[in-house]
Each structure stands twice: as C-alpha cells, then as structure tokens.
Amino acid sequence: MKRGDVVLVVLQGEPGKPRPGVIVQADELDALSSTIVCPMSSHIDAANLMRPVVAPTAHNGLLVRTQIMTDKLNTLRHDRVKRIIGTLDPDSCERLDSALLLVLGLAR
C-alpha cells in the first residue's frame, strides 16, 4: 500500500461491509503496524470544501462519485485494510493534500 491508493477498509466502530478509503500516510512509514486512511462516502456534501469529490474511473476503482472525508482521519491496523482497488490521479491527490492542510491547520 502506498499514499494515494484507494482501498477497502473496515472502520473501527462501524460494523458491516467495507467502505472505500484513501491511504494518506507517508510511504516511508510502511513498516508501522497501522496506516492512516481517509474514509470515502458516496453521500456528497457540496458545501463542505474540506471534502474533495472524486469521479469514478477505471484507474481509481470507484463505482460512483465519492467524497474524501478528510475531517474523519482514521488510523487502522493493517488487517482492517482489505484490499487495494485503485489509485487516485495526481489532480485528486493535490486536492486531497490541500484539504488535509486545512483540516490539520497547516495551511498558512
């Protein structure tokens, strides 16, 4: 798994079927027993600028328009990440990075 990969995850405290998420942890930290993921949702909140919208493509593996929930970062054990379904394109990664800067208070 690497940063920008779209994966299926089982979030803690949310039993049920896996949902898509995107890996946001630095690739250099792959030896850790956990990984940081932003969950994704098909419920689009157009007013929330901190949640970039991603259109489905064969490359990212998404089936519907999806919003990256940067305000709901999760740190998950590797066994809660079920499989990689795709990878975000460079434009989506850039919008994700900008949103994370806002969420984490690093945009100056």
> Per-residue pLDDT for the chain (108 aa), expressed as one digit of tens each?
899 999 999 887 777 778 999 999 999 998 888 999 999 999 999 888 899 999 999 999 999 999 999 999 999 988 889 899 999 999 999 999 999 999 998 877
Model pLDDT, residue 79:
86
Domain count, the chain: 1
> Residues with Cβ < 8 Å from 19, sequence gap 6 or more?
8, 9, 11, 39, 40, 41
Determine the pLDDT at residue 46: 83
The answer to whether residue 45 sits within a structural domain is: yes
Q: Is residue 108 part of a domain?
A: no
| 82 occurs within a structural domain | yes
- pLDDT of res. 19: 93
Question: Longest Cα pair distance anywhere in the chain, in angstroms?
Answer: 39
Q: What is the pLDDT of residue 80?
A: 86
